[in-house]
């Protein structure tokens, strides 16, 4: 089953995980960071809606898998959004190497600080690494799917270095709410370009 780009009909994408040139591509794109080999910056773009199969598996969008191809582990790390707003829950999804960078940032806080402990409980303790099958699918844990209100269709929304996983109706409601903030958000962005 192909990924469906949000707002378009079902499309066909190259299956990155089974690509024989995948290993060569991974070696060419690795770089050294703090003494270890790391993947280049990950940028997840666009939104896709994919169906959950009868066994509870969902295909991660091919463009997202392609972004993760150079990472040291071919896993997605997911956890429930601790900041779920009025439109209900959703999940965060990270490429494995990028999640390690997030964990390192949390670990830079003093070990016994209440902020670090809250972040560690909400993110690190809650995180679940998921493996891809040969078709690029993952099995979302039932408890996380329930928290996010996920059903037969799942929306993957690119957010730059991570992506979010939503019930499509909840995502649409959130987008409606976000529309009220757009002018303020662009003003903040404008300040970054100066």
Q: What is the pLDDT of residue 4?
A: 54
Q: Using one digit for the tens of pLDDT, what is the confidence trace for 103-162? A: 999 999 999 999 999 999 999 999 999 999 999 999 999 999 999 999 999 999 999 999
3-state secondary structure of 26: helix
Q: For residues 173 and 50, give the distance between their C-alpha atoms in angstroms, rounded to a whole number.
A: 18
Q: Which two tokens stand for residue 129?
A: 């690494």
DSSP 3-state percent helix, strand, coil across the chain (nearest 5):
35, 25, 40
Please give the C-alpha separations between residue 33 and each of 27, 41, 97, 101, 103, in angstroms, as whole numbers: 15, 11, 11, 11, 15
Q: How many helices (H) and strands (E) does the chain have?
A: 7, 11
CA-closest candidate to residue 90, choices 160, 153, 168: 168
Q: Which two tokens stand for residue 150?
A: 């996920």
pLDDT band at 67 (very low <50, low <70, confident <90, very high): very high
Q: Using one digit for the tens of pLDDT, what is the confidence trace for 6-62? A: 554 343 333 333 333 333 333 334 555 556 655 567 899 999 999 999 998 999 999
- Higher-confidence residue of 35 and 97: namely 97
Ranges assigned E (strand) in 29-74: 31-33, 36-38, 47-51, 57-59
Q: What is the pLDDT of residue 8?
A: 43
Q: For residues 137 and 58, give the distance between their C-alpha atoms in angstroms, rounded to a whole number.
A: 5
Task: For the chain, give every domain's residue range.
Answer: 4-192
Q: What is the pLDDT of residue 35?
A: 64
* Angle, alpha carbons 112-117-122 (nearest 5°): 170
Q: What is the pLDDT of residue 156?
A: 98
Which CATH architecture is the domain 4-192 placed in? 3-Layer(aba) Sandwich (3.40)
CA-closest candidate to residue 85, choices 190, 186, 181: 181
What letters, b where the CB count within 10 A reaches 16 and e where it falls short, cover 5-37? bbeeeeeebebbbeeeebeeebeeebeeeeeee
- Higher-confidence residue of 28 and 180: namely 180
């Amino acid at each position: 089953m192909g990924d469906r780009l949000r707002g378009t009909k079902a499309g066909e994408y190259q299956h990155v995980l089974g690509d024989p040139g995948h290993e060569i591509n991974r070696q060419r794109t690795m770089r050294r960071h703090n003494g270890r080999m790391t993947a280049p910056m990950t940028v997840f773009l666009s939104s896709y809606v994919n169906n959950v199969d009868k066994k509870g598996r969902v295909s991660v969008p091919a463009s997202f898998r392609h972004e993760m191809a150079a990472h040291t582990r071919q896993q997605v790390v997911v956890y429930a959004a601790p900041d779920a707003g009025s439109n209900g829950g959703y999940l965060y999804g990270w490429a494995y190497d990028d999640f390690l960078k997030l964990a390192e940032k949390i670990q830079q806080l003093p070990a016994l600080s209440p902020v670090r402990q809250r972040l560690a409980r909400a993110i690190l303790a809650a995180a679940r690494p998921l493996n891809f099958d040969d078709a690029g699918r993952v099995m979302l844990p039932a408890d996380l799917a329930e928290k996010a209100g996920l059903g037969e269709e799942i929306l993957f929304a690119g957010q730059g270095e991570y992506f979010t996983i939503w019930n499509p109706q909840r995502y649409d409601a959130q987008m409606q709410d976000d529309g009220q903030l757009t002018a303020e958000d662009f003003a903040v962005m404008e300040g970054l370009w100066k």
